[in-house]
A and B are shown apart, each in its own frame.
Chain A
Amino acid sequence: MLYLKITTFASQMDTLLFQTAILLTFALFAIPKHFQYYWGLLLHTSIIIISSFWAIQSLFINSEALKIAFMPFMGNTLYIEIDKLSAFFILVVNFTVLTGFIYAKGYLRPYLEKKNKIEMALHFFSFLWLQLSMLLVLMFRDALAFLIVWELMALSSFLLVIFESEKKETIRIGIQYLIQMHIGLIFILLAFIGAYIGSGGAFSFEGLTEYFYTHNPFGVFFLFFVGFGIKAGFIPLHSWLPHAHPAAPSHVSGVMSGVMIKMGIYGILRVLTYIHHELLYIGLLILAISLISGILGVMLAIVQHDVKKLLAYHSIENIGIIGIGIGLGVIGIAVNIPVLTVLGFAGAILHVLNHSLFKSLLFFTAGSVYQQTHTRNIEHLGGLIKKMPKTALFFLLGALAICGLPPFNGFISEFLIYSGIFKSLLPGNLLTDVILLISFTGLALIGGLAVFCFTKVFSIIFLGSPRSDVVAHAREVENTMIVPDLLIGFMIMVIGFFPALFISPLASVVGLFTKDTSSIQQMIPILNNISISSGVFIALIGFLWILRAWQQKKQLLKQEATWGCGYTGANPALHQYTATSYADNIVQLAKPVLNVKKDFTPFKEGEIFPEERVFETHSSDIMEDNLIIKPSDKILSWFNKIAVFQTGKIQHYLLYALIFLIVITIITLLNWI
C-alpha cells in the first residue's frame, strides 16, 4: 500500500518534470547562442532520465504496462502508455539521441559562426522535439494524438535536414522528404479511419483489436504497412532516405538512420500485436518486401560514391533484415511454429538495437571524416587511417558489426534469425521450407554483399595512399566527437560478447506476439557458447600477436615500397584500385537492377596516341526514378498545363457562373442529382 502511494506520487512527480521539460524547450529561443547547447543537454538528459526510468520500470520491474495521465486532449484526458515494446524502443531512442547530442557539440562548432542565434536555437529545438516526438510516438495510443506526434517527428527531422540550407540542393531534398513523410501520414490516417469505420470502435490502437477480430486484417494492415514503411524505408517506399540522410548534418543522420526510421518498424510491430488470425499473407508481404529491400538496398549501396548515401542505402538493407525477422515471425504464427516466431521476432527486435548502434557509429565517424575533408565523395579520400586513427578504428568496428561478423553485435541478431530458420526447417511443411530456403539464402547473400561493400568503403576511405590533397589537412577530431564512438563501441562489444544478458528483455518483448517463449530461453546456453568462442577467438589473436612480436624481435624488419610488379614509376595516389573499379564486377553482374551510366568517349578509329580522357559513373535508383520522380513530375506539369482558369478576363469569370447555373439547373430539373 505504502509502496503504491510512493509510486503514484513519484509518477505524478516525474510526469510533472516531463511536462516542464517539454515547456522549457521553448526557452531555447531566448538563450544566447553559446549556451543553447548546454540548455539542450540539460533538457535531453532530464527527458532521457525520466523516460528511461519509466521504460526500465515497465520492461524489467512491472509485469503490466505503465499508464500515466499526461495531458488534456480534445476535452478528455490523454494517457501515455508504456508496455514492453514501447519500453524497449524508448531505451534505444534515448541511447542514440544521447550519443548524437554529445557528438553534435564538436560537429556544430564550425556552424556557430555562420548561423545566427535563432537558427541555432531552431536546430537544437528541432533536435529536442525529434526526441520528444519519437518518445511520444512510442507512448501514445490515441490515434489522433499518435498522428500528431508522428507528423511532429517528420517536421522536426525536416527542420534538421535543411540545417545546411545554404545549399540549394538541401531545400529541394527537404521538401521531397516532407512530402513523402506527409504521404506516409496520410496512409496511416486512412488505415485508422478504415478500421474505425469498419468496427466503429474507439479511434485508437485499442480500437484496432475489435476490427481485426471481426474483419480480414490484410487490407488495413497493408495501408499501415505502406504508411509505416515509408518511414522505415522499405524498397520501393525508400526514395526519401538516400537523399535526406546525406543532406542532414551527421549527428542528425545518425539519429534519423539509427532510430527514427525504426519508428516505422515500431508502428508495424505495434499493429501486428493486435492481429491474431489470417497472418500468412501479411507475413509473406512483409518477407517479400524485406528481401527485396535487403538485397537491392545493399546492391545500390555498393555503387555509391557518397559515403553517407552509401550508409543510407545500408539502412535500407538493415531494415530489410529486420523485416525478414518480423516476416518470418509472423509466418511462424500463421503456420504455428513457435520457434520461428520467437527467434524471428527476437532477432528482428535485437537487430533494431544493433542497427541503431553501429549505424549511428558509422554516421558519426563518416561525419568526422566529412568535417575534416569537406567531401563525402570517397574517390577523393584514402590513407586517412594515418591521419585519424581513432575514427578509422571505430569505423572499422562499425563496418565489422554491420556485416554481422562475430564477435560483434550484428552477428548475434542475424544468428538468432538463422537459428530460427534452421530449427523450423524440420517442422515446416513444403511451403514453409521453400520460404525459409529463400530467406536464409537471401540473408547469406545480403551478408556477403555487405562484406563486399564495407571492404570497399573502408579501404577506399582509410587505407592505401591519399587520392587527393583534401586528405592532407585532415586531423583527428576533438575528443567530444570520440566519446560517443566509445560509448557505442562499448555497447557493441557487450552485445557481441555477452548476448545472453539481453535475452530476458527480448523474451518479454517477444511475449507480446506469442505466448510460448520457451525456445528463446533455450538459446541462452548457445549464446553462452558463442561468447566463449568469441573469447577464444580474441585470445588466439592475442596469442599470435605476441608470438609474432617475439619472433620478429630477433629478425630485422625492412621498409620497402609496395610491390609494383617491377614498374617503379608508379604514382601511389593514382595507381590504386578505386571505388568504381572495386564495384565494377558487381555492377556487371547486376546490370538489370542497377542502372549505372558511364560517361566515356570511346577510342576513335586509328587513334594511336590517345588524348586525355575522363571516365565517370553515375548510378541512379530505378525504383525511385520510375515510382516517385517521373509520376510526380508528370502530375505537376499536367496541373500546370491545365491551370487556365485565371485568365484575367471578366467575361470568362462570368462564363463559369453562367455555365454552372445552366448546367446545374438542367440536371436539377431533370432530377439527375
Chain B
Amino acid sequence: MIDFSQPTPVILSEVRQISPTRRELVLNMGPQHPSTHGVLRVRLTLEGETVIACDPVIGYLHRGVEKLGESHRYAQFVPWTDRTDYVAAPSNNLGYVLAVEKLCGIQAPERAQYWRMIMAELTRIASHLVWLGTHALDIGALSVSLYTFRDRELILDIFEKFCGARLTTNMMEIGGFSREIPPDLPEMVREFCRYFPKAIRQYEDLLTENPIWLARTKGVGVIEPEVAINYGLTGACLRGSGVNYDVRKAMPYLLYDRIDFEVPLGTHGDVYDRYLVRIEEMRQSIRIIEQCLDQVPTDGPLMAYESQYVIPPHKNVMTTAEDMQRHFIWVIKGFSPPKGEVYHAVEHSKGELGYYIVSDGSPIPYRLRIRSPDFVNLQSLPYMAQGAMLADIVALIGTIDIVLGSVDR
C-alpha cells in the first residue's frame, strides 16, 4: 500500500547517475543547437556513438503562460494561446475558446463552426509542413524544408487574408468570429486544396521511397502501443504505434461527426510510421476542408448573439443602447462565467491539446492549465533514445514534433 502521508520517494535510475564512467562521454545537446527545435536541451550519455541515457531538460522558454492566464480576463487570454505553440496558433485558440464556450454553455453558429474546422485543418497542414521540413532537414534532406515552407506560405496567406496576421493569428474568438469571411476566401482555400496534393506527392517523391530515408527512419525510435499509452502520448506519436485515438473521432467537437474522414494508424510504431501517418493526415485534412467548404452555409451569423458572454457585433454597438452597454461591460469588466470546472480537448496537429479551466465566478480564471501534447510526447524521448545512435537523436526529437513554446509554456 502506498502511504500517501509520506512524500513519494523519487527513484533515480542508475541511468541518471551524474558522473559517467570512463568509457562514456556526456554530450550536452542544446539549448543552443541547430536541431533541438528551439531551446530544448538534451543531456546525452554516449558510449561511442550509442546513447546510453538521454535526459531532456526543458524550461528554457518558460514564460508562465498558465499563470498569466490566471491574471487575465477570459477573452484577454486568447492571444496568449497563440504564443504557446506558435506554428499552429489557430488550433490553440480553438482549444481555448471551445473550453470557455463549454464553461459558459454557449455555442458558435454553424457557419462559424465550419470555418473553425477549415482553419483548424489548415493549421494542421501548416504545422505538419513545418514538422516535415525540419524533420527532413535534421536527417539531412536539405531541399524538403524549402518546399514545405514554400507551401506553408500559401496557408499563411489564407490566414492573412482572413485575419490580417500570419503567425500569431489571434483568430478565434469566444462565440465565433467577429469578422466577416472575406468573399474570395473560399475560392482561395479551394485553390489551395486543388494544389496541395501535388505538393504532397513532391515531398513523397523525395522521401518516401528514398533508401537513405528508409534506413534512417525504419526501425528507429520504436514505441510499442502499451508504452505509448502508458506515456500518455497522443497525436501521431500514438497513432503511429497503431492505437486509434483521435479526439475528432473519439469525442467529436465542432461538426467533425458530419465529416467523412479516416484516421491513419501506423503498424510498426517507428519514425517512418509516424512520418507516413502525418503525411496521410495532411491528405485527410484536405478532404475535411473540401467537405467543409461544400457544406458551409454561404451566409448566416458568425458570432453567437444574445449572450452575456459574447462581445456584441460592432454594428449593434453603434446603433442600440443595450448592446452598447453590454459592450462596455464586456470590455471594461469582462464576463463572468458560471462557477465550475471544465476540460476541453481538441485534436491539435501534435496530439490532444486540452484546456482545463476552473472558474470561481469571477472574470478571471481561478486556475488555467494547458495540457500541451508535445510536453507529454517529449517524455517518450528517453525511452526511444536508449540504445539509439547519436544521429538518431535528432530524428527522434524531430519525430515527436515539439515546439518549445508549447512544451515550456
Bound pair: A and B? Answer: no
